[in-house]
Chain A
Amino acid sequence: MNLKRVLSIAQKEVYHIVRDPFTLAMALGLPLILVTIFGLAIEFNMKEIGISVYDGDKSVASRSLLRAFSSSDYFHLNHTDRLPEAISILDHEQSKAALLIEPGFEKNLGSEKTAQAQILIDGADNSTVGVILGYLSGVQNQFGRNVGQTLSGSTAPFRTRYLFNPELNSRWFTVPGLIVIVVAILSILLTALTIAREWENGSMELLLSTPVRPIEIVIGKLLPYSLLGVGSVVFVYGLARVAFGVPFVGSHWFYGLSVLLFISAYLAQGLLISVVTRNQQLSMQLALISGLLPSVLLSGFVFPIENMPRFFHYLTSIFPAKWFMIISRSLFLKGSEPHELIKPFVALVVLNVVLMGVATKLFKKDVEP
């Protein structure tokens, strides 16, 4: 392999990128737009969520729970005196959720029995359910600290993941996940397009009529996009930390390593797509279906994987996005030690080996006479 040749192929690719408005817009504009939309829009919509409250216990503990709610800016409590009223308000959509504290709440809290406080959520508003759940679990956590112990899981299907966002900030949860989307677009979509373009217009053949090695073409063409990917991750990371104040409590080097693995897996997928299609339009469609859609829908970014049917637990495992999402969120919010993230990390490595292996093998077979 000849480094100078690789670099000149990379340089040519940079010319293509900076002279094509579409690619340039994708590369520079998209991360900014996505972060702004997800970061700001969710914030505005999710303030002052109406919750109707029925406190059947009226004890110190129940008031402490309500305080945990009202002390945050995110909830607006509508007190009701009767149980049916609390539910009917929910029916009329004045509240997004109802908090029902049963009589004997405090008593059960002290004992070994399960303390009862139910939360009903307006399931019709699909988009807010996950966010409310996230907030609620934060409240639960705070309440646990207030009364010196945590509530048991019976109050709502609270997910431990959400517990690590104690300030009830949805952006904290969204922005780390955004990195997955941005990398999906930059790596899968753009590489699939660029290599397919060389096939489509016949220039691949001209490249191959020179002594250039197939592997030099691959590395040279992928290099700018991997840098673009890393750049966008740094950008989103910086924005998340500085503009939105998202904490990062994990290990940076472990995160960096995972980012590289994730990017290279997606580059390999892009290469694979372009080898199979040799056509830009098909590549674009395949990249959207096999790359972007799973990254958004099946990575846990929008829909928690735990809530999906069993089948999807397995299906999502073949997408690098799921594993990287776990690592990303854990490191940002939870501060997990690397050894706790062995499983997603190994999964990323395995997917990398498989994707890289298949893609380069197919590519080599494709270009060799």
Chain B
Amino acid sequence: MSGVEGGPNYSVEVEGLRVQFGDFIAVKDISFNVNAGEIFGFLGANGAGKTTTIRVLCGLLEPNLGDVRVMGLNPKQGLDAIKSRVGYMSQRFTLYDDLTVDENLSFAASLRKLTREKFSRRKKDLLEFIGFERPLNTLVKNLPGGLKQQVSLCAATLHDPDIVFLDEPTAGVTPTYRARFWSLIRSMAASGKTVFVTTHYMDEAEQCDRIALMRDGSLIALDSPGGLKRSTFPEPIYEISSSREKLDEFWFESIKKRPEILKIQPHGLRYHAQLSKGVVEGQLRELVSSGCVVRVIPPSLEDVFIRLVEGGLP
């Protein structure tokens, strides 16, 4: 089942993975595969077990149970082969603040035993890739946070890994730098690398090819963003808004009690509603006053996650 030659091409295969810290089970027997060349989003609330899973995949933690393969390699048969094909950007630490950009990069290169020629070529390519224009002897602490993350991405990919694990690479970064970072992620994936990324931002999750959702150590959903929306919300969601009259608390309380309405939630000045079984759109239009605008909207990923996390297994 490995993606070495022939057969389905997986960058990561996880089978019944369990990680335990003392009595506490941080990762509960999860299984999933990551396709080669995809952007794989790994989502979940704080403490869901994302970082723990990544640490196992990078060979930093030994699982209590289960099988793991990265690039077709089993960690039990030696970590060095895996480590040379994996890039890791950790959540807690990225670059040494008291070292310059150049020093950080050449330190990373020497840990990977890159030759001088390969290092200078990769450095040039990567700095061009991220569009780095500051002097290379800038101390990292003088870089804006978003730029620091980009340089860190360079450090993590100097050795040209086949897969990169990015653990919340855009946490605490300005929106402009976030967008920039994601364009880098997309180009990396386009060039054939697998990107395994965790994030708490929904707009970033939308850009993933597939999303895995973790809750309390379990994997509760795994699909493309579109697929997740369809499977979580098979019935349409209606947005109700009005420019003329105010849809106030009182209106909300009264319509909520109607048997035709399965669920209704305020979203800013608008409302998102789902209808009970058998109720059609026309009935909803009759229910609300003529001044209201009713339209079908796709569910946001946020809706999906709220429902999945609140409702347990779909």
Contact = CB atoms under 8 A, between A and B. Distances in A.
Interface of A: 2, 4-5, 8-9, 11-12, 15-16, 19-20, 201-203, 205-212, 369
Nearest to B165: A209
Residue among A20, A203, A211 having the largest count of chain B Cβ atoms under 10 Å: A211
Contact of A12 (B79, B88, B93, B99): B99
Given A12-B96, A12-B103, A203-B96, A4 B113 contact: yes
Contacts of B213: none
Nearest to A12: B107
A4 B113 CA distance: 8
Interface in B63-109: 75, 79-80, 83-84, 86, 88, 90-94, 96, 98-99, 103, 106-108
Contacts of A369: 59-62, 75, 79
Contact of A15 (B88, B103, B111): B103
Contacts of A203: 93, 96
A12 B112 CA distance: 15
Given A15-B99, A369-B61, A205 B111 contact: no
A19 B98 contact: yes
Contact of B90 (A4, A9, A19, A209): A209
B103 A205 contact: no
B60 A211 contact: no
Given A4-B110, A208-B60, A201 B92 contact: yes
4 interchain residue pairs of minimum CB distance: A202-B92, A202-B93, A8-B110, A210-B111
B12 interface: no
Contact of A205 (B84, B90, B112): B90
Nearest to B103: A15
Given A8-B111, A15-B103, A209 B98 contact: no
Contact of B98 (A15, A202, A205, A212): A15
B117 to A, nearest CB: 15
- In this complex, the member of A4, A207, A369 whose beta carbon has the largest number of chain B beta carbons within 10 angstroms is A369
B88 A206 contact: yes
28 contacts: A4-B110, A5-B110, A8-B106, A8-B107, A8-B110, A8-B111, A12-B103, A15-B99, A16-B96, A16-B98, A19-B98, A202-B92, A202-B93, A203-B96, A205-B92, A206-B94, A208-B60, A209-B59, A210-B83, A210-B108, A211-B80, A211-B83, A211-B111, A212-B111, A369-B59, A369-B60, A369-B62, A369-B79
A201 B55 CA distance: 16
Contacts of B75: 369
The CB with the most chain A CB atoms within 10 A, among B60, B92, B110, is that of: B110
A8 B91 CA distance: 24
Nearest to A4: B110
Given A206-B88, A210-B108, A211-B79, 14 more contacts: A5-B111, A9-B111, A12-B96, A15-B96, A19-B98, A20-B98, A202-B92, A205-B60, A206-B90, A209-B59, A209-B60, A211-B83, A211-B84, A211-B112
Specify the main secondary structure of chain A where it touches its partner.
helix
Contacts of A2: 113
B212 interface: no
A201 B75 CA distance: 26
B208 interface: no
A235 to B, nearest CB: 25
B58 interface: yes
A208 B80 CA distance: 11
B17 to A, nearest CB: 14
A19 B100 CA distance: 11
B107 A206 contact: no
A206 B99 contact: no
Contacts of B62: 369
Contacts of A209: 58-60, 83, 86, 88, 90
A4 B109 CA distance: 11
A206 to B, nearest CB: 5
B57 to A, nearest CB: 10
Contacts of B55: 205
Interface string B241-266: 00000000000000000000000000
A291 to B, nearest CB: 25
A2 B110 CA distance: 10
Nearest to A16: B98
Nearest to A198: B93
Nearest to A213: B80
A4 B59 CA distance: 23
Interface string B34-72: 000000000000000000000100111110000000000
A250 to B, nearest CB: 42
Contacts of A5: 110-111, 113
Nearest to B55: A205
Contacts of B113: 2, 4-5, 211
A14 B124 CA distance: 26
A231 to B, nearest CB: 22
A284 B59 CA distance: 31
Contacts of A15: 96, 98-99, 103
Nearest to B61: A369
A16 B99 CA distance: 8
A16 to B, nearest CB: 6
A209 B94 CA distance: 12
A49 B216 CA distance: 76
A15 B141 CA distance: 14
B59 A205 contact: no
Nearest to B99: A15
Nearest to A11: B107
Nearest to B80: A211
Interface in B203-257: none
Nearest to B98: A19
